[in-house]
Structures are given as structure tokens and as C-alpha cells.
Homo-oligomer: A and B are copies of this chain.
């Protein structure tokens, strides 16, 4: 989903409130035909929906579904990472309704501790993955 070029940028724009074809095209720099394909794909994946805002000619806006809304934390975190490592100064800050500039933190629901390195071990659902050498964590 997010591995396709521009799909994350498209979502970013929609999170900003830019919901129309031309606006998204301008802000992402995506070629219009590629954008058409991406939007269709995101609609198919039920991340966004096409909402008609004008009868004739038919004009549409792209709105987030509930599933799409749940991607917001991912974007927020990715943005934070980019702000820290890729740019000098954050080009945009999100103001939280508590009045401060948002700094998102990720923590464990159960113990409340913030996630840091060395706290996690993966456990795989089906043993055949590892057995087939398909995911040989050990041998590396």
C-alpha cells in the first residue's frame, strides 16, 4: 500500500485537508495519470472514499475512511523522523488540542513504557515460515 510511489504523499495531503485532484497533484508533484491510478488504488483498498461535491460536471473529493484515519499516527511518526533526520527545520507542526505543538510518543498499552531499542522480540504465528528458511532470523 504505502510502498507505491506517491501514496504516502497523497495521504499526507488529505490529512492536511487537501482533498481535490488538482490540489493533491500540485502539492505532491505526482503526474496526473499516476495520481489517478493511486487514488483509484486507495479507494479500492478502502483507505479513502470518493465523495461527490458537484453534480454536473461530476466533481469529487477524496475523504478518509476510518481505516484511513488510523493511518494518521503512522504519518505523524514518519514526519517526526523526517524532521529529526532529513531537514533542518520542520516545515509544519501539528498543534494538539491541548494547546501544545504535538510531539508524538509511542508506548506499550499494557505497561505504559515508551518503546526503546532492545525491548522487543518477534514471535511468528506459523512455524513453517522459519522452518522453511523463509525467514531465518537465527542464521544471520
Contact = CB atoms under 8 A, between A and B. Distances in A.
Interface of A: 1-6, 8-9, 16-20, 23, 26-27, 46, 61, 67, 69-74, 76-78, 81-82, 84-86, 89-98, 100-111, 113, 115, 117-126, 129, 133-137, 139-140
A110 B103 contact: yes
6 contacts: A5-B5, A98-B110, A102-B108, A102-B115, A103-B109, A105-B108
Q: Could you say how many copies of this chain the assembly holds?
A: 2
Given A72-B115, A121-B94, A107 B107 contact: yes
Contacts of A69: 117
Contact of A125 (B72, B89, B126, B137): B89
